[in-house]
Amino acid sequence: MATILKKMHRQRRLLLGTLPMLLSATTWAIETRKVVLLIAESNATNNPQVPINPVFQQTIAYIEKELHLQFEFRRYPWKRLLQNLNEGEGLAFGLSKTKERAQTLRFSLPAFATHVWVVVRSDMAFSFSSIADLQGKMVGIVRGSSYGDEFDKAKNALLLVEDDLFSLPSRLKKLLSKRTDVMLFSHYDPDPRKVETILNKAMADMAPETPMPPGVSFKVLDRHLSVDYIHFAILASKDDGIIEQLDLIIRKGQQDGSLAKVNLVKR
């Protein structure tokens, strides 16, 4: 009996001795990891634009929670964001995947999708069904952004383009003043009338000093240019497994409804 009690006492001391290590390991396993996240914003450094897209915000919050991450946001204009991303500064969010970018970057599964809409002045509307209908028109695009391989190819060969800042008021003013004939605008809502309302309200709220001419408003053409799939991306040589982790969580979130399901509608 004494032998049994001594054995039980030794086991108890062993358990008590290892308990702090077990607790430490558990704490380490759930410790929040800090990750640099690059996102695009206006060139105007004195006027930061925090993303207001609710799907964007939902995705960021979900990823932080599921992977025990805390993102350190670094906001750059698109051109500089891509440069810093390719220099290995951190993970980026909000990118579409192109053949050129895929040569150096590793992309996650699509986190959500946006429609690329063709926006014009209401008094300059035209019938739109394909990229060919944009020939001869000055098309406003965000500097450094991509609207898909098909558009990028046409842009270099056929289209007139105006590189804009990542600033919605500035882009709308260019369209209003006829410096551009068309503005390409990405938004997650698949209803052109809702996007139209958003843009007209944005102009009234953000640029009240620039009134619309009588009878003129912004018009979103009924057919979208493309569906743009939005990803996380990182320099391939800097991927320490985070893209694989993101893929697992994105797939889970889209299956159980925690994330908006990717819109698979094709142009």
- Structural contact between residues 115 and 189, judged by C-beta atoms closer than 8 angstroms: yes
Which pLDDT score, from 0 to 100, does residue 30 have?
58
Q: What percent of the chain is helix, strand and coil (3-state, nearest 5)?
A: 40, 25, 35
Element (H, E) at 27: helix 2-29
Which pLDDT score, from 0 to 100, does residue 131 have?
92
pLDDT tens digit sequence for 94-103: 999 988 899 9
Element (H, E) at 57: helix 54-67
Pairing of strands 138-142, 182-187: parallel
pLDDT tens digit sequence for 16-29: 455 454 444 444 45
Q: Could you tell me how far CA 170 lies from the centroid of its own chain?
A: 20
Any idea what the Cα angle at residue 100 is, between residues 109 and 186, rounded to 5°? Answer: 60
Domains defined for the chain, CATH in brackets: 33-112+229-256 (3.40.190.10), 114-226 (3.40.190.10)
At 263, give phi and psi (nearest 5°): -75, 120
Which pLDDT score, from 0 to 100, does residue 44 have?
42
Tokens at 33, concatenated: 């990891």
pLDDT less than 50: residues of the chain: 5, 8, 14-16, 19, 21-28, 43-51, 263-267
Tokens at 119, concatenated: 């926006």
R_g (Cα) of the chain, nearest Å = 25
Which pLDDT score, from 0 to 100, does residue 46 have?
41
Name which of 154, 150, 115 is nearest 136 in CA terms.
154
d(CA 228, CA 101): 15
